[in-house]
Amino acid sequence: MADKYRVGIIGCGSIAGLHVHGYQGVEEVEIVAIADPVEAALNDFGERHNIKKRYLDAREMLDKENLDIVSVATWHKLHAPMTIAACARKPKAVLCEKPMATSLGECDEMMIAARRTDVKVAIAHQRRFNPVWTDARELIADGAIGEPRQIVCRGGQGLLNDCSHLLDMMRYVQGDPDAAWVIGNIERKTERYERDIPIEDRSAGIIGFNNGCIGLLLQELAGPNYQGGVIYGSDGILDLTEQRVRLLNSKKAEWEERQAEGENPSVAQVRELVSWIEGKTEHRGDAKNGRASVEIIMAIYESARLHEVVQMPVRTHASPLQVMIDNGDLPVERPGRYDIRAFLLRGESMEP
C-alpha cells in the first residue's frame, strides 16, 4: 500500500465516478481522500466508493493528504483555481476535467502553475483513449483515406462542453495538427448557461488546420448531435462514432465496419498518467492539447466578436463571448437566465 500513488479527488459529482473507475483499474494508485463542500454529495460519494477521508474544503485536503495525483472534477469555472491550488502543493500530476478552462487566460495560468511547480497536468478528454478513435487516428496516419481534407461534426450544449471533445477529436484523429485560422459566428438571444458558464444558443465554426484540412463544427444547428464525425480524405471517408468507425476508400467495394477492442478509456487514461509520472511516455491528454481545444473555441467567439478570420494564436485572454455579453453586443431578446445543467444541483438551488 505504502508505495502506491496517493490520489485525491476534488468534486464528488457525476464525472468523479468515472475518475474512481479509472483509478480503481490501475493497481499502482489508491484513492485516499475526496473533497466537496456539499456534505450530502461528499458523504454519498464516500459511502458509494468506500473512501473514508472526506473534506468539505479541497485546500485542507491538499494540505493534509500529501497527494501524488489530484483529480479536478468540479464545474468548469473551478478548473483553473483548483488546478493551480493543487499545483501549489506539488503533487506529481493533476488530472483536470474538460474543458481545460473558460478562457485562454485561465489556461495559461494553469500552465504557468504546472511549470513553476514541475507538476504534470493532463486534461480528461478521455475519448483519446477510446480504441475506436485511436483506430481512426491510425487509419488516417496509414493513408487509408489519403490526405484528410474535411471533418464535419455536430454538437450541442455550447462550445465549451460537448464541443470541446469534438474539437479535440478533430485534432486527435489527424495526429494533433494546430489550427492555423478560424472563422465562426454565434447566436445568443436567450440567457443560456451551461454549468454556470454563459453559452451561445447556436454557433458554427470553420477551422483551417495547418495540414490543409478544414474542420466544420455545427453547434445546435443541425442534429443529431453525437460524439464523432465524418472525415473526408482525398481517397476515402471515415464515419466515426464512439462505438465504431466505418471506412470507405477507392480499394473497397463497400463500407468496412470496424469495432476496435481495448481497455476502458478512463482506466487507460490513468495508466498513461502513471507512465507519464514515471517518465516512460508522454500523456495524450497533456494540457497543451486541452488548451488547443479551448483556443479554437475562443477563436470562434473572437471571430464573431471582431467579424474577421482569426489567425492563430488567439491573443485575447478573456473569453470573447463574455466580453460580447458584458459590452451589450449580444442583446437578450428572450430574458430569463436558465442553466441546462441545473439538474445536477442539489436541494433548492438553481445556481451554484
Ligand X SMILES: NC(=O)c1ccc[n+]([C@@H]2O[C@H](COP(=O)([O-])OP(=O)(O)OC[C@H]3O[C@@H](n4cnc5c(N)ncnc54)[C@H](O)[C@@H]3O)[C@@H](O)[C@H]2O)c1
Alpha-carbon distance values, 142 to 147, 230, 322 (Å):
10, 17, 42
Q: Which residue is nearest to ligand X (CB)?
A: 13
Query: What is the DSSP track for 126-184?
Result: GGGG-HHHHHHHHHHHTTTTSSEEEEEEEE-S-TTTHHHHHHHHHHHHTT-PPEEEEEE
Dihedral sign from CA coordinates of 225, 107, 30, 75? negative
Nearer CB in complex with ligand X: 137/165 = 165
Q: Which is nearer to ligand X, 124 or 298 (CB)?
A: 124
The dihedral built from the CA positions of residue 288, 127, 182 and 187, taken in this order, carries a sign that is: negative
Amino acid residing at 111: M
- Cell 500513488: give the residue: 5
Among 71, 74, 103, 319, binds ligand X (CB under 6 A): 74
Among 7, 10, 122, 268, contact with ligand X (rule: CB under 6 A): 10
Restricting to residues 178-217, name those near ligand X by CB under 6 A. 195
CA geometry: angle 140, 143, 144, nearest 5 deg: 75
- Candidate ranges 32-40, 150-158, 217-225, 315-323; the one touching ligand X (CB under 6 A): 32-40
Residue 260 in the binding site for ligand X (CB under 6 A):
no
Where does this chain touch ligand X (CB under 6 A) — which range of 30-38, 46-54, 294-302, 303-311? 30-38
- Under the binding rule (CB under 6 A), the answer on residue 133 touching ligand X is no
Near ligand X by CB under 6 A: residue from 26, 33, 73, 199: 73
Of positions 4, 15, 146, 264, contacts ligand X by CB under 6 A: 15
Is position 287 an interface residue for ligand X (rule: CB under 6 A)? no
Site for ligand X in 262-281 (CB under 6 A): none
Q: Among the candidate windows 6-14, 21-29, 105-113, 272-280, which touches ligand X by CB under 6 A?
A: 6-14
Interface residue with ligand X, options 71, 126, 289, 319 (CB under 6 A): 126
Q: Which residues contact 114 (CB under 8 A, 6 or more apart)?
A: 83, 87, 94, 120, 121, 287
Can residue 340 be called a binding residue for ligand X (CB under 6 A)?
no
Please say which residue, 41 or 214, places its beta carbon nearer to ligand X: 41
* Angstrom distance (rounded) from CA 219 to CA 239: 19
Crossing angle of helices 104-117/287-306, nearest 10°? 160
Number of H helices, E strands in the chain: 10, 18
**Residues engaged in binding ligand X (CB under 6 A):** 10-16, 35-38, 41, 58, 73-76, 78, 97-98, 124, 126, 161, 195, 344
